[in-house]
Amino acid sequence: MADIKRIECGPRMSEAVIHNGVVYLAGQVGNPGDSVADQTRAVLAQVDRLLAEAGTDKTRILKAQIWLADITDFAEMNAVWDTWVPQGHCPARATGEAKLATPDYKVEVIVTAAL
């Protein structure tokens, strides 16, 4: 049976879980009240940090799921995403609209990556 490693394990959830060479990140959100672009930048910085702690990086992302509180913010989020994702290493991705944990959150990103 393969080991499971948990990163930043709290009482309710872990920020990342590693199993069988795959890293699963919890949904990452930015600073409440910031713009969509600023929240996206903060989220992607958290993704970078957690992937590094797990021993991998954004070139190894397999799948990204992005939730926007308002789908009309799609272009603003994509402007930041497009400068962050390495050319030639684009993951499978889905983006949708959802009510997030608080009205101050505008972007949530969930990532799965290979080690």
Q: Is 2 part of a structural domain of the chain?
A: no
**Is 20 inside a domain boundary?**
no
pLDDT tens, 27-41? 999 999 999 999 999
Residue 15 lies in a domain: no
1 in a domain, yes or no?
no
Alpha-helical regions (H) of 2-111: 36-54, 74-84
pLDDT at residue 2 in the model = 79
Q: How many separate domains does the chain show? A: 1
91 lies in some domain: yes
62 part of a folded domain: yes
| Residue 52 pLDDT grade (very low, low, confident, very high; cuts 50, 70, 90) | very high
In a domain, 17, yes or no: no
Residue 98: per-residue pLDDT: 98
Judging by beta carbons within 10 Å of its beta carbon (0-12, 13-18, 19+), is residue 55 exposed, middle or buried?
exposed
Chain segment 54-111, per-residue pLDDT in tens: 999 999 999 999 999 999 999 999 999 999 999 999 999 999 999 999 999 999 999 9
Averaged confidence pLDDT in the chain: 97
pLDDT value at residue 1? 73
Domain range for residue 95?
A: 27-114
Share of residues in the chain with pLDDT > 70 (%): 100
In-domain check, residue 109: yes
Find the CATH number of the domain harbouring 99.
3.30.1330.40
